[in-house]
Structure 1
Amino acid sequence: MKKTLLATAIAGAAALAATSASAATVYNQDGTKLDIYGNVQLAYSYIDQYNGAEDSELGDNGSTFGAKGEHKINDDIVGYFKAEWEYDADEAKNGGLDGGDQAYVGAKGSFGDARIGSWDPLMDDWIQDPITNNEFFDLSDSGTALAAGSDSGEGGNDAALREGDKLQYMSPVMGGLQFAVGSNFKGDGDSVDGDDNISNSNQASFFTGAKYTVGGFSLAAVYDNLDQFEANSATGEDLGDQYGITGQYTVDALRVAIKAERFAGEEDDTDVDFYGIGARYGYGMGDVYGAYQYVDAEDQSNYATEYGDDSFNEFNLGVTYNISSAMYTYVEYRQLDRAGDAGDGAAVGIYYGF
């Protein structure tokens, strides 16, 4: 699922109380705890396509089933795990749990948090999500530019590549400051395109970030060298780097965030910049939210070539309504400023969490 519940928690405690659902604890004894949880998400969407057609669909929107647990190693250190699987709620008879969403194991304590496995990139969590991390429609970001430039095609934005085979250390918060460092590793036998093609070379990225929080204000910066990707697998040419900085301020039930993000291509005139502002307000029975973003793509970037222009004005709007503590509905709209209105659309959906 998207992380609306997390965003709502940031927006205001009153909204959180109306939308959160507790996981079911199946075991909690002698320092060991095991929970199961999940959600069912369905949405009806209408999206303009690049070929001039329109797509309307009643479909699944990221339904998951998960388990998480932890146990006390000693008085200071706790070991933990989390595993989530996806399934299609609109066509459940066609299959069961059809793919992993995230899975990791780690340990946390006064030293910080160290984990290994698969989860969202730090660039997503700290830089992109505060602007648009909505139910159905998000705006584009440096991951979109990454996909356009990757020699592996869709692999540039494939969860198996960006999220998997990862190791990360995150420090404790010290005087409001926290930092993270990690790597995404692809060995000789790992897939480089989310399919059957293997890398035939060891490729490890390096990413790092820092966040400073004081009161209701926070500032985060992240860098990722993307060395697990190649612009040209035949020549070994590097793809580029990701940079991002986001500031956000929360007061009562209102959160406002601004972002500057760059996909820096390895070749000249291939950079793509993203400048965004977003806001979310918890009105008591749900959230109202929206964002605007200006995208500036240099002429030689694959992004400009793929989308037929070098600058775009994007925005989206949305509202949620809480039916109960575990169930809510929403309406969203997005406009991407692409040729032929491609990617523009609207969606209405429902979420039930347990």
Structure 2
Amino acid sequence: MKKTLLATAIAGALGASAAAQAATVYDQDGTKVDLYGRIAMGISGGGPEEQDGEAKSTGTEFKDVYSRLRLSGSHQLTTDLSAFASVEWRFRGDERDQSDGFREVRHSFLGLRSDQFGTIQAGSFDSFYNTFVAAPFDVYLDRGLELSKGQGGDLQARGDSLGYFTPDLSGFQAFIMTKHYTGNGQVAGSDGSNSSELNTQGGVKYEWGGLRLAAGFAQDRDDRALGGDGGTRHNYTGRDRRGADENIYGATASYAFNDNFSARLGYETQDTNDGAIDAGGDVEQYSGYDTWGLGASYSLGQWAFHADVYRVDLDNAEDERIAWAAGAYYKVSSNFDVFGELHRADQGDITVSTEDGVEVDENDDSVYWLVGARYHF
């Protein structure tokens, strides 16, 4: 029974109900098709202060909280082997969308699953490093995750990817995946900058009773598909999606003490790419970090609670930052839940390189807050 709460915590903030709420729209002759969706809306405010020239983002806002629609199917080929496919779209649930109705194809993949040989899949799907290693900390609906470089399922994934994970071998599982970046579309040259790249991630996971251990790595090469900085902020928020061309290594341990309480411990590190900085690269992009995380989840009847704290030591900052997150969730019914979340990034002062030298830009952030509701169908 200890695994029950742990699985709920890993799925994140009552998100485990997604599979249970999926409606089977077709099931005949070994072929099954499921439909799942949710509409989620909330009100938010606060967060990291904007820098000069950046769009304001800390004011109160009525927002969509990752509404989505998913269609998945499977077909039993043999008693052990099945083929499967899934596609999931995101849409704006809080306002009129005059474009195409959906703003993102979040997932789109197909594959083969065998209880004896494991699972292989290709397409656009979440980072296996996040799914297997950082998952115990990925429990918040919006902000709060510092592992996986703060990117969650986006970490060198979701597009042009191929992955494999073994079946459960007495509690052990291993995984490996790779994302392909094509050189097509890049300006041709003799320096090899337009060549294709493969970003690989892999690791192992072990579960026994209420204990869950996982460790892995993820190559973090420069993500050309995001156009450099991808329009994101600084490393200090933990949400910078640029690759530093250095591997990320991480490990987590979690334990469900009973059906109501579980705790988790995590560590992640990435070296500074001194060569890229010496060659004139952005200090913020290529600096490394060490992150320690400690958190817990507690459930009581229809209530669930999460709380996590992180110490992040950044190589390009004099002081570490202490970030934290907390959330409370209430399940009104099997289809409807309400939630509230808090997050403090505690981003430090930012070191900015200028033509006249190096300046320190004082930076501050308030607590980010989010309240809202979700309906699953």
**Do these two structures clear the TM 0.5 threshold for a shared fold by scoring above it?**
yes
> How far did residue 65 of structure 1 move?
0.6
Q: 1:209 to 1:322 in 2, by over 3 A?
A: same
Distance in 2 of aligned mates of 1:16 and 1:311: 32
Over residues 110-132 of structure 1, what are the superposed CA-to-partner deviations in whole Å (9 max), with x where a residue is unaligned? 21000001111122222323124
Q: 1:63 to 1:7 in 2, by over 3 A?
A: farther
Distance in 2 of aligned mates of 1:59 and 1:8: 28
Distance in 2 of aligned mates of 1:264 and 1:17: 35
Aligned equivalent of 1:265: 272
1:342 aligns with 2:357: no
Distance in 1 of aligned mates of 2:10 and 2:315: 35
Aligned equivalent of 1:280: 297
Q: Could you say what secondary structure the match of 2:217 adopts?
A: strand
2:104 to 96, 99, 102: 99
Distance in 1 of aligned mates of 2:135 and 2:15: 17
Distance in 1 of aligned mates of 2:215 and 2:207: 12
Aligned equivalent of 2:41: 42
Aligned equivalent of 1:23: 22
Distance in 2 of aligned mates of 1:158 and 1:18: 19
Over residues 242-271 of structure 1, what are the superposed CA-to-partner deviations in whole Å (9 max), with x where a residue is unaligned? 111000101212121110011223327932
- 1:136-215 map, 5 Å: 136-144=142-150, 159=154, 162-189=157-184, 200-215=194-209
Q: Could you say what secondary structure the match of 1:124 adopts?
A: helix
- 1:23-102 map, 5 Å: 23-51=22-50, 54-95=58-99, 96-102=101-107
> How far did residue 188 of structure 1 move?
2.0
Q: 1:172 to 1:158 in 2, by over 3 A?
A: closer
Q: Is the 8 A contact 1:243 1:261 kept in 2?
A: yes
Q: Could you say what secondary structure the match of 2:247 adopts?
A: strand
Distance in 2 of aligned mates of 1:178 and 1:228: 29
Q: Could you say what secondary structure the match of 2:21 adopts?
A: coil
Aligned equivalent of 1:196: none
Q: Could you say what secondary structure the match of 2:206 adopts?
A: strand
> How far did residue 214 of structure 1 move?
1.0
Distance in 2 of aligned mates of 1:114 and 1:190: 29
Aligned equivalent of 2:310: 293
Amino acid in structure 2 at the alignment position of 1:59: K
Q: Is the 8 A contact 2:272 2:287 kept in 1?
A: yes
1:119 to 122, 125, 140: 125
1:321 to 316, 319, 330: 330
Aligned equivalent of 1:153: none
Q: Is the 8 A contact 2:48 2:347 kept in 1?
A: no
Distance in 2 of aligned mates of 1:161 and 1:79: 25
Distance in 2 of aligned mates of 1:187 and 1:17: 35
Q: Is the 8 A contact 1:290 1:316 kept in 2?
A: yes
Q: TM-score, normalised by structure 2?
A: 0.76
Q: Could you say what secondary structure the match of 1:62 adopts?
A: coil
1:252 to 253, 259, 269: 259
Taking CA–CA contacts closer than 8 Å with sequence separation of 6 or more, which of the two structures ends up with the larger relative contact order? 1
Q: Is the 8 A contact 2:122 2:162 kept in 1?
A: yes
Structure 1: which 5+ residue stretches go unaligned? 148-156, 192-198
Aligned length: 320
> How far did residue 64 of structure 1 move?
0.3
Q: Is the 8 A contact 1:38 1:353 kept in 2?
A: yes
Q: 1:214 to 1:161 in 2, by over 3 A?
A: closer
Q: Is the 8 A contact 1:204 1:228 kept in 2?
A: no
Distance in 2 of aligned mates of 1:17 and 1:240: 33
Q: Could you say what secondary structure the match of 2:105 adopts?
A: strand
Q: 1:218 to 1:183 in 2, by over 3 A?
A: same
Q: Is the 8 A contact 1:229 1:239 kept in 2?
A: no
> How far did residue 161 of structure 1 move?
5.3
Q: 1:261 to 1:330 in 2, by over 3 A?
A: same
Distance in 2 of aligned mates of 1:97 and 1:16: 21
RMSD: 3.2
1:108 to 95, 109, 113: 113
Q: 1:74 to 1:30 in 2, by over 3 A?
A: same
> How far did residue 55 of structure 1 move?
1.7
Aligned equivalent of 2:353: none
Q: Is the 8 A contact 1:141 1:274 kept in 2?
A: yes
Q: Could you say what secondary structure the match of 1:134 adopts?
A: coil
Identity of aligned residues (%): 26
Q: Is the 8 A contact 1:205 1:228 kept in 2?
A: no
Q: TM-score, normalised by structure 1?
A: 0.81
